[in-house]
Structure 1
Amino acid sequence: MKALILSGGKGTRLRPLTHTGAKQLVPVANKPILWYGIESIVKAGITEIGIIISPETGEEIRRKTGSGEQFGANITYILQDEPLGLAHAVKIGRPFLGDSPFIMYLGDNLIQDDINVFLDKFKNQHLDELILLRSVSNPTAFGVAVVDDKGRVLKLVEKPKNPPSNLALVGVYFFSPAVHQAIDNIQPSPRGELEITDAIQELINTDKIVESVQLQGWWLDTGKKDDLLEANRIILDTNLSIDKAGNIDDKSKISGRVNIKGNTTIINSTIRGPVIIGENCHIENCFIGPYTSIGDKCTLVDADIEHSVLLESAQILEIDQRIVDSLIGGRAKLEMAPQRPKALRFMVGDDSHVELV
């Protein structure tokens, strides 16, 4: 069994942040989104992993994620020159996949459920395809499935105007090698892409065994700012361990589940968890509210922030109005001019400098 993780694309929904970096490397609870998928796959016993990368961000993903040794895996990087669809990614990954069954995992998705359960069903029932589904309120934005009362998949439609159900395809799929022939038999969609939904429908049309499982836990597609902040909130709620390795002075008050890494200094500040703070940060005269993740080497002075994500080396200086629901890019700098607004909400890309006037 192998795995194919899709980590290409241009990340247009997270711009300007992804003008300078890969969306799959944006951190959730100070860990790149991509790494959660890798860890989940390795936990299921799959160690041969191919990662689809794009020309724009592939080198950054390769540099930060490495050979896979840190995860106990062997990673092969596969370049997709253009984002021509999920099925196209499988097609260019075929030399790596060979005749092995495989799991395909979208690199900007997070799921709570343990994939071992789904993998066992896929293997034990000798399925050609197993898809994961979740009921959603806006099915027009997703690939949608129609299933019978036993979970057998009858029909798939990509982003339908009139959805036949509210069951959306989650970005985790289990395939037998039969999918390669199905992909060879489909044509690009009107938007010019080889759709994975068309390939799965081809499996159905040729009497292959295609079944589904509905997720019990949460599923998060982190392609937009609010989705990423929600993922950060849920991970901090469910996975955060308490650790106060930083240098915390006597005037500071720490409450709730808070994780502070080494060589970080906390001076005269209140931190109310769940909160994670990276290494080599300086936080002084601040309130850090719940559901905030602060990356390594960040500096916050006279700041009030909650339900936000700060990437590495970001700075917030002398802003005494509360910052909420914000995503601040790496090395970005926010500082206050003399006149002060009443409320602040940001999505700031890497290397930005914002002055509030």
Structure 2
Amino acid sequence: MKGIILAGGSGTRLYPITQAISKQITPVYDKPMIYYPLSTLMLAGIRDILIISTPQDLPTFERLLGSGNQFGLNLAYSVQEEPRGLAEAILIGESFIAGEKCALILGDNLFYGYGFGSILKRACTLSEGATIFGYFVKNPNSYGVVEFDTDGQVLSLEEKPEKPKSNYAIPGLYFYDETAVKKAHEIEPSPRGELEITSLNQKYLEEGSLRCKNLGRGMSWFDTGTHDALLEAANFVQTIQHRQGLMISSPEEIAHGQGWITDAELKTQIDRLGKTRYADNLRDILEGVYHV
């Protein structure tokens, strides 16, 4: 399965922070924001990943992440000239996907919770159709909303409805079979001129192959698109890491745990990171000591 991170957009809700840098480069506690969606794909076992961003921001991601070899990954990069909708990421990545299944994650989404890696790996095993996720929120009218039955069969999809049919928002993480590119070519732009991800998911719903996995109370999800949400996410990561001594969304740790990089390669990354708490945490992992 191939992975795509959509890290474009202008980030206007975070102005003035994002007037000079990409939203997905801004820090969430001790890591650039893009580390979090990157880590999600890595936890799913995905190693071939395409990063899509704006012409002005893409070189920054290339400088930060390079080929991905330091994480045991194969990274590629593509430009989205203008923000023309989330589903356009599938079209931009058509040659990269090359007829395989794919996972799409938005560059400002952070997930954390026990067993999340197992949930992701199961989503990767889909033989046909698509998998989306539901997350219970108190203000569903601010999100895309999914209505589903007890078997996880999706009944309806709504985009920021005035009267939501459920309290389950749809986070920015989607798993698709090999027909995703074909379906993306078939959808029409919305009234705002964008290829909506809801329209792509609707295609799967209409053929009866869209499944929803409910992320329960043990899971945390942050859409870090506002100043308050960015601060909440950073405080959450800081609290967990300090109390448990376990890192959240460290690509180096995940790569080492998956066997994608050796002890020696991890040590090289630790040395490169210098005298930082982040490096100290990785050193603890290398030495088998899990404390901060």
TM-score, length basis structure 2: 0.79
Residue pair 1:156, 1:198 contacting (<8 A) in 2 also = no
1:56 maps to which residue?
Answer: 56
- Could you tell me how far apart the structure 1 residues matched to 2:227 and 2:132 are? 26
1:108 maps to which residue?
Answer: 108
Distance 1:84 1:226, change over 3 A: same
1:184 maps to which residue?
Answer: 185
1:46 maps to which residue?
Answer: 46
Q: Which secondary structure state, in structure 2, belongs to the residue aligned with residue 40 of structure 1?
A: helix
- Could you tell me how far apart the structure 2 residues matched to 1:278 and 1:226 are? 28
Q: Which secondary structure state, in structure 2, belongs to the residue aligned with residue 9 of structure 1?
A: coil
1:211 maps to which residue?
Answer: 211
Sequence identity percentage:
39
- Could you tell me how far apart the structure 2 residues matched to 1:223 and 1:99 are? 32
Looking at CA atoms only, which structure, 1 or 2, has the larger radius of gyration? 1
Structure 2: unaligned runs, 5 residues or longer = 247-272, 281-292
Question: What is the aligned length?
Answer: 249
Alignment of 1:91-170 (within 5 A): 91-113=91-113, 114-124=115-125, 126-170=127-171
Alignment of 1:154-303 (within 5 A): 154-207=155-208, 209-216=209-216, 217-240=219-242, 241=245
Residue pair 2:40, 2:111 contacting (<8 A) in 1 also = no
- Could you tell me how far apart the structure 2 residues matched to 1:8 and 1:74 are? 20
Q: Which secondary structure state, in structure 2, belongs to the residue aligned with residue 191 of structure 1?
A: coil
Distance 1:137 1:69, change over 3 A: same
2:75 maps to which residue?
Answer: 75
Residue pair 1:42, 1:71 contacting (<8 A) in 2 also = no
Q: C-alpha deviations, 1:292-340, integer Å up to 9, x for none? A: xxxxxxxxxxxxxxxxxxxxxxxxxxxxxxxxxxxxxxxxxxxxxxxxx
Residue pair 2:133, 2:213 contacting (<8 A) in 1 also = yes
TM-score, length basis structure 1: 0.65
Shift of the alpha carbon at 1:181? 2.2
Q: Which secondary structure state, in structure 2, belongs to the residue aligned with residue 86 of structure 1?
A: coil
- Could you tell me how far apart the structure 2 residues matched to 1:200 and 1:89 are? 14
Q: Which secondary structure state, in structure 2, belongs to the residue aligned with residue 161 of structure 1?
A: coil
Distance 1:124 1:104, change over 3 A: closer
Residue pair 2:129, 2:177 contacting (<8 A) in 1 also = yes
Shift of the alpha carbon at 1:164? 2.1
- Could you tell me how far apart the structure 1 residues matched to 2:74 and 2:16 are? 32
Q: Which secondary structure state, in structure 2, belongs to the residue aligned with residue 36 of structure 1?
A: helix
Alignment of 1:32-43 (within 5 A): 32-43=32-43
Query: Whose strand proportion is higher, 1 or 2?
Result: 1
2:255 maps to which residue?
Answer: none
- Could you tell me how far apart the structure 1 residues matched to 2:177 and 2:9 are? 25
- Of structures 1 and 2, the one with the larger relative CO (CA 8 A, separation 6+) is 2
Distance 1:263 1:45, change over 3 A: closer
- Could you tell me how far apart the structure 1 residues matched to 2:196 and 2:68 are? 29
Q: Which secondary structure state, in structure 2, belongs to the residue aligned with residue 18 of structure 1?
A: helix
- Could you tell me how far apart the structure 2 residues matched to 1:204 and 1:82 are? 28
Q: In structure 1, what residue type is equivalent to 2:164? A: P
Shift of the alpha carbon at 1:277? 9.1
Q: Which secondary structure state, in structure 2, belongs to the residue aligned with residue 170 of structure 1?
A: coil
Q: Which secondary structure state, in structure 2, belongs to the residue aligned with residue 39 of structure 1?
A: helix
Distance 1:50 1:194, change over 3 A: same
Q: In structure 1, what residue type is equivalent to 2:41? A: I
- Could you tell me how far apart the structure 1 residues matched to 2:180 and 2:205 are? 11
Q: Which secondary structure state, in structure 1, belongs to the residue aligned with residue 183 of structure 2?
A: helix
Residue pair 1:4, 1:51 contacting (<8 A) in 2 also = yes
- Could you tell me how far apart the structure 2 residues matched to 1:277 and 1:206 are? 46
- Could you tell me how far apart the structure 2 residues matched to 1:160 and 1:138 are? 11
Q: Which secondary structure state, in structure 1, belongs to the residue aligned with residue 64 of structure 2?
A: helix
Residue pair 1:147, 1:155 contacting (<8 A) in 2 also = yes
Residue pair 2:111, 2:220 contacting (<8 A) in 1 also = yes
1:320 maps to which residue?
Answer: none
1:26 maps to which residue?
Answer: 26
Shift of the alpha carbon at 1:278? 9.7
Q: C-alpha deviations, 1:212-248, integer Å up to 9, x for none? A: 1111310001111111111111111112449xxxxxx
Shift of the alpha carbon at 1:263? 5.9
Q: Which secondary structure state, in structure 2, belongs to the residue aligned with residue 218 of structure 1?
A: strand
